[in-house]
Structure 1
């Protein structure tokens, strides 16, 4: 009869085998966790391009100015603007681009002017003057909000206290 030699000859050999096995399992678990962590930390969901604007409202001249600070170029022919003064929408909203419109004085500046390039790029300012016949008028300290919408999507909801 042939006998096989046992790998573990003494009880202390068996102890070493279980410790080595446990350490090996821990190394594998830590390695897998590290790979998963690296994969998750480098993955970012797609987000819309960042666009930032800055709003100012000059109560002395009834002028609203919006600066396109960063982000994609916007075609103002696809832009809708809503102006809200202390919670109340203006009776007449600016129909950008325009030159002379009911509720507004003079011609707007920048890409809001119908005779200018309708592409509004980062770094450009656009402004318009609200006529005294357009209600509500704003005075110093009033909260002026402007909502910019393109294709039904709000791209900016801005607030400024009139100076």
Structure 2
């Protein structure tokens, strides 16, 4: 068998790989939707149900298009906070900051929003539990904050 077949096979395999890579590269920009802008949030929580979320980085968030989802040790709260709100089921009174219906509808970097989960909402915010707060804009997650629930001081 002539020795010329191995180099030809390598060149053909390389050509097929380059064509496949080019096809993938041209298809990727055509994927639907742009990735959402990312933000940075920090969360704090205490065993009395107080949850604070501070926007640390990224663009401001229009509260009207935002959704907040809270989970304790990976289990979502039975009643999630609508935003903005006042006197929602599963929460004491009204929240503060941008989550409050009377506040400015833009959540800017440096602003803290807080709410208080009631004892009738579950799971409970118990000391040592991991609390995760997901912030979504138009249904897409743009920030995730996680903290350990601390004892109320």
Q: Structure 1 length normalisation: TM-score?
A: 0.68
Alignment of 1:1-163 (within 5 A): 49-59=37-47, 61-163=48-150
1:50 deviates by 4.4
Larger Rg: 1
CA-based RMSD: 1.5
Structure 2: 5+ residue stretches without partners: 1-33
Matched position secondary structure for 1:111? helix
Structure 2 vs 1, CA of residues 142 and 121 (structure 1 numbering), >3 Å: closer, same or farther?
A: same
The runs of 5 or more residues in structure 1 that have no matched partner are 1-45
Change (3 A) 1:50 1:152: closer
Higher relative contact order (CA closer than 8 Å, sequence separation 6+): 2
Provide the C-alpha distance between the structure 2 equivalents of 1:49 and 1:89, rounded to a whole number of angstroms: 24
Equivalent residue of 2:98, what SS? Answer: helix
Q: How much has 1:147 moved relative to structure 2?
A: 1.0
Q: Name the count of aligned residue pairs.
A: 117
Shift of 1:52: 1.0
Tell me the equivalent position of 2:12.
Answer: none
Aligned equivalents of 2:37, 2:123: Cα separation in 1: 34
Shift of residue 51, structure 1, vs aligned partner: 1.7
